[in-house]
Amino acid sequence: MAGGTRTYLVVIDDSKEARVALRFAARRAAKTGGDVEVVAVTEAQDFVQWGGVEAAIKEEQQLRIEARVAEALGELPGAEGIKPQSIILQAGEPAALVRELIASRDDIAALVLGAAASGDPGPLVTAFSGSDAGKLPCPVMIIPGGLSDERLEALS
């Protein structure tokens, strides 16, 4: 790991389980002196002639991610110094994009994913806990989406 810093990589969307995974990663980072990075995978926009519109959409996506992060972390005890960086990945299959990002970095300590509290755990959890589980250069932490803040605190 570059400089000994641990980076917990969290894939975020609008789901409750993504919020729980982010809160868990922030607690782990706070306790281990690490960092948090959030990744959002978005659809590519086809604005060849409309560069200004594309820039505005990218800025809106960035602001939406930052708002999600701020809401999820809120007043999380002990995570006051954690300031997650955000990355937007566009176009492509989400698991492949995340896999490529992890492969390009040596500071990723863990991929932190939230699993839905009921039903299908989600496509990324399925992808990274299945055939790709042993191929990544870092652990995959799958956080149950139904964890309460109290239980989250106890486990992190």
pLDDT digit string (tens) for 66-85?
Answer: 777 777 666 566 666 777 78
**Per-residue pLDDT, 2:** 44
Over residues 13-33, the mean pLDDT reads 88
Instruction: In whole angstroms, give the CA distance from residue 75 to residue 72.
Output: 9
Has residue 44 got a pLDDT over 70? no
pLDDT above 70: percentage of residues in the chain? 85
Instruction: In whole angstroms, give the CA distance from residue 43 to residue 89.
Output: 9
Do residues 143 and 20 make contact, with C-beta atoms less than 8 angstroms apart? yes
Confidence of residue 103 (pLDDT cuts 50, 70, 90): very high
Report if pTM > 0.85. Answer: no
pLDDT digit string (tens) for 108-120?
Answer: 999 999 999 998 8
pLDDT digit string (tens) for 119-136?
Answer: 888 889 999 998 777 888
Confidence of residue 48 (pLDDT cuts 50, 70, 90): low
pLDDT digit string (tens) for 133-147?
Answer: 788 899 999 999 999
Average pLDDT, the chain: 82
What residue segments make up the domains of the chain, in order of their start? 2-155
Closest C-alpha to 129, from 144, 116, 113: 113
The domain over range 2-155 is classified in CATH as 3.40.50.620: yes
